[in-house]
Amino acid sequence: MKDIKIAVFSYISLGKKKKDCQSKVRMLDKRLFKNDLLKNIDFLIFAGDTFDRLLDLSYHGLADIDYFFARLLDACAKHNVVFRVLEGTPSHDRGQPSRFDVLQGVMKNPADFAYVDTMKIEYIERFDAHVLYIPDEYKPTTEETLQELYDLMKSKELESVDIAIMHGQFEYQLPAEIKNIPRHNQSAYEKLVKTVIFIGHVHTHSRSGKVVVQGSFDRLRHGEEEPKGFVKTSIKAGKAFVEFIENKDARIYKTIGVYDLDMGKTHEKIQKELKHLNMNACVRIEAEPNHPVFANMPELERLYPTISWSKLPKDRLTGESVIISVRNEFDDWKPIDINSSNIQELILARLAKQSFTQEQLTFAQEQLGELI
């Protein structure tokens, strides 16, 4: 195998809210284009979960996604970068990376691009390397997946491959007490792969032996306070040298505990914490279920409209989360069906509550009658 430089991303998770999609595209744009990453690598890999969910044509961010990937394919062609996208978890990707094949088909200068949604061993002549691809949930069990790999390698008369690109998890990534989640056999795969095994799915970056877990490119939920990003790998003389590159623009998820604080102290603590956060951070307030802060969440939303707020009422002694219902002024609100038969009555009723004279109300009634 020749010496090559690789960049691997996973769990990009495009397709949530429009704001989130645009933010992720900007972060990808910065890493891939503005930092000249594509000028300095030979192989670009998206190791699954490029999408968050199934998107339809009405999704507002779809044009942003297509435009970004059209530019990415064009840049890969320009810089002679091999680009592969692996199918991730079926409930996330749902075969949607195939749309990049369509974009590739209309490019003036097509890139060396492929979307892989099945187990496959590809020989890339430029790298003089055999590359293994295994998507998530490929077979009902990981044992069946491994057996099919043995059969595939036997049919190709291969004893090993140079690089593996997978989606799923290995044993070391899961607690021993969790028995019902499929996990791959690390020792078995390390015997079959010469240099490095890239695997997506788990959100946290880690390394174990030949296994490299990129983790998610962005933060997706509370509890993910560890660094996010992607990995750059240089393979020299058959050895892999891996570097984790942090995405410092990753969205911040912050939990602020305000147990036993009155409202004055609560607001002081929240203000202090917010000074260190980005404007688009997601902030969760944690307190005892009867804390008045939960009834005042609309005020926090008004004061800090760019922050995404949520609440976590929790019993401090037991640590159990509690579902609470906060009544507010909108609880009794009911929508009004406004149509041509009642709009005049509704407007006049509203005007009657203002300080208009009877003469003015009569004039308004006449004008409304003519318009309607």
- Mind listing the pLDDT tens digit for each residue in 212-232? 999 999 888 888 888 999 999
**How many Å apart are CA 103 and CA 76, to the nearest integer?**
13
pLDDT at position 331 is: 46
* Residue 96 near residue 51, CB atoms below 8 Å: yes
> What's the number of CA atoms in the CB half-sphere (13 Å) around residue 27?
24
pLDDT at position 322 is: 60
**How many Å apart are CA 127 and CA 2, to the nearest integer?**
5
* Sheet bearing 206-208, strands edge to edge: 120-124, 129-134, 161-168, 193-201, 211-213, 206-208
Is the Cα torsion angle 151, 157, 162, 165 positive or negative in sign? negative
Higher pLDDT, 125 or 21: 125
Higher pLDDT, 129 or 106: 129
Q: Which CATH architecture has domain 4-246?
A: 4-Layer Sandwich (3.60)
**Helix ranges restricted to H, the chain:** 18-29, 62-78, 90-93, 99-105, 142-155, 186-192, 263-274, 297-303, 343-352, 358-371
218-225's contacts with Cβ under 8 Å and 24+ in sequence apart are: 218/12, 218/13, 218/23, 218/24, 218/27, 218/247, 218/250, 218/251, 219/250, 219/251, 219/252, 219/253, 220/11, 220/13, 221/253, 222/253, 222/255, 222/282, 222/284, 222/310, 223/253, 224/253, 225/253
Q: What is the mean pLDDT of residues 199-203?
A: 89
pLDDT tens digits, 108-162: 888 999 999 999 999 999 999 999 999 998 999 999 999 999 999 999 999 999 9
**How many Å apart are CA 41 and CA 231, to the nearest integer?**
12
The number of beta carbons lying within 10 Å of the beta carbon of residue 5 is 16
pLDDT tens digits, 328-344: 444 444 567 788 788 88
**What percent of the chain has pLDDT above 90?**
42
If DSSP codes are grouped into helix, strand and coil, which group holds residue 303? helix
Cα 184–Cα 188–Cα 190 angle in degrees, nearest 5: 100
**DSSP-derived secondary structure for 29-80:** HIIIIIT-GGGG-SEEEE-S--BSS---TT-TTHHHHHHHHHHHHHHHHHTT
**How many Å apart are CA 173 and CA 249, to the nearest integer?**
26
**What percent of the chain has pLDDT above 70?**
93
